[in-house]
Structure 1
Amino acid sequence: MSLRLNYSKANPKAATAMMGLETYAGNAIKDKVLYELIKLRVSQINGCAFCLDMHAKDLLKLGDHGDRILLLSVWHEVPHLFTEQERVVLELSEAVTTISKGGVPKALYDKVRGHFSEAEYVDLIMAINTINCWNRIAISTGMYPGCFN
């Protein structure tokens, strides 16, 4: 794989807009571990190596999360590694990322709302959409781990 272009140099205004979205999402999700779990799970689904590498390292910086990183793709099968709140957010992250497959079912919405307010629900959607957008930028421009080193 080779880097096709540096998106931020090719279009600084677009990069600034994306950073605005990232800043909003990063400030809105107070639990930084939860935010990194969202980024990792969505990046797994989308197959974004650049983002997987970055956010796995970011999660490791937040503490001892090696097992959670290794088993995130099968989080359904390891309930002891993820809190109920994290599990609900991971389920929402999957539903929003693969929204054309079945939308966000009412039962899932209700589960999420059992843990989060309406405003927090919107913040979660914004965070999920932000990493989906980053994944699409990275994949479309040929970004890979270490491409900017």
Structure 2
Amino acid sequence: MTRLTHALAVALGLLFGAGAEARAAGFTSPSGNILCYLDVLSDLPFDEMPLVCLVFEAEWDLPPDYGDDDPTCDFDRTRTILLRPGQPATARWTCHGDVFWPAPLGAISYGSEWSLADYTCAMATDGVRCGNSAGNGFQVRRSSVTLN
């Protein structure tokens, strides 16, 4: 399966059902607090799609940055970590209405790894570690986040 064909299959799975391809596009932590997925619905080529991780409950905060010049959010907001191929990870808030991420995504167990495109993530009892092939990445858990 070519990368383009795989990306199309994943996108169609996300749009039309919860088949194996949809689950392969991302994962959740066993607790469901951390959700990570490849942004296959972006307009970017498959090899440029970012990895997006959402952290629903955390003890750490972020400056009011929503990826634009407006520091306000009148809707729900979620901590978001973005990792792009060959670039360091960044963190910001995402301002959103109802559910905006691909669902459903299957949980991976502690001690498991997930890989797709340029990214590999490892699930541990102390959080999630994700990286790209350039050696950039992050570690996130309820108590802290480390970006590199």
Instruction: Report the TM-score range of the alignment, normalised by the length of the smaller protein.
Output: under 0.3
Output the TM-score relative to the length of structure 2.
0.23
Of structures 1 and 2, the one scoring higher in RCO (CA 8 A, sep 6+) is 1
Larger radius of gyration: 1
Give the structure with the larger helix fraction.
1
